[in-house]
Amino acid sequence: MSGEVCVPLLVLVGPTAVGKTALSLRLAQQFGGEIISADSRLFYRGMDIGTAKPTAAEQAQVPHHLIDLCAPDETVTLGTYQQLAYGVIERVAGNGRLPLLVGGTGQYVQAVVEGWGIPRVAPQPELRQALETLGGEELARWLAALDPEAAAKIDPRNVRRVVRALEVTLVAGRPISDIQRKNPPPYDICLIGLHRDRESLYRRIDARVDQMMADGLLEEVVGLRAQGYDEPLAAMSGLGYRQLLAHLRGELTLAEAVERIKFETHRFARQQATWFRLDDPQIAWFDMDGVGVETAVVDHVANWLAG
């Protein structure tokens, strides 16, 4: 990040199926924006229906970024995503367009908005193995000596986290607590949250799952499986894919798999709410079940851009 210019950044968050895609398209078209995905499920090529990826027609209306970054057997780390997002935001703004960060993956949104310090230290298998031979108490004592701040935050019984903290500290040559300090980017951020009544949201989720099935979600999963992508992969353990793979293995009927997708998506939507709370004063919340809400959001953004 250059840090020289205060870049405007419009951020749109909310749970799955709340209506982010349609509203983001309207906002981008109205204000000359480009959409930057903050949904980790959209990274994977060939996983279109089950992730509710914007369609080709929707992507043709407005430029979209950070979609289809990798194959289902590849990964995009949080640190990599953060750097990619910063690059796209500055490029879009540099072209005189409005960057619009949209997504329901709270960790990815906050890593960008809050400027999380993310260690860029790759796993060190030999070092980890050596550390793990020391035992939990010795590891905790060593971390406390090297980085008291990190040691105070990590449960010493969580050996995996203690080992990772030591690994980063030893390889980077500085305490992990220093690396992880937040450094908010030089952005003028307008953060908008969308919500709905829980039962309304559940109905939308259920209708969307039914539409996904009608659009060929089962066939998408069959095709991915035929390419060698199966459930051990993180991508294939996501909502929709995991349940239909269980059906293909004969563990669930198709009807049971669909009902499980709906039920687990309801739970996922509740989990998303923990990242962005209705009482957060930094977020302007809008009830998508209300009358004239899209116009209200447009007016809010127009006022923000007008200063």
Residue 1 has pLDDT above 70, yes or no: no
Q: What percent of the chain has pLDDT over 70?
A: 98
**Using one digit for the tens of pLDDT, what is the confidence trace for 23-71?**
999 999 999 999 999 999 999 999 999 999 999 999 999 999 999 999 9
Residue 83 has pLDDT above 70, yes or no: yes
Q: How far, in Å, CA of 188 to CA of 71, rounded?
A: 34
Break the chain into its structural domains and give their ranges: 7-116+183-305, 125-179
pLDDT attached to residue 5: 57
Q: What percent of the chain has pLDDT over 90?
A: 89
pLDDT attached to residue 122: 83
Tell the residue number behind the tokens 């305490």, with chain if given: 175
**Mean per-residue pLDDT for 141-146?**
95
Q: What are phi and psi of 66, to 5 degrees?
A: 65, 40
Q: From the DSSP assignment, how many helices (H) and strands (E) are in the chain?
A: 14, 6
CB 9 within 8 A of CB 90: no
- Of the given ranges (41-50, 208-217, 251-260, 268-277), which has the lowest mean pLDDT? 268-277
Q: How far, in Å, CA of 23 to CA of 139, rounded?
A: 50
**Using one digit for the tens of pLDDT, what is the confidence trace for 266-300?**
999 999 988 998 889 999 999 999 999 999 999 99
**Mean per-residue pLDDT for 230-239?**
93
- CATH code for the part of the protein at 125-179: 1.10.20.140
CA-closest candidate to residue 122, choices 164, 180, 61, 174 = 164
pLDDT attached to residue 2: 43
- CATH code for the part of the protein at 7-116+183-305: 3.40.50.300
Residue 3 has pLDDT above 70, yes or no: no
Tell the residue number behind the tokens 């994977």, with chain if given: 44
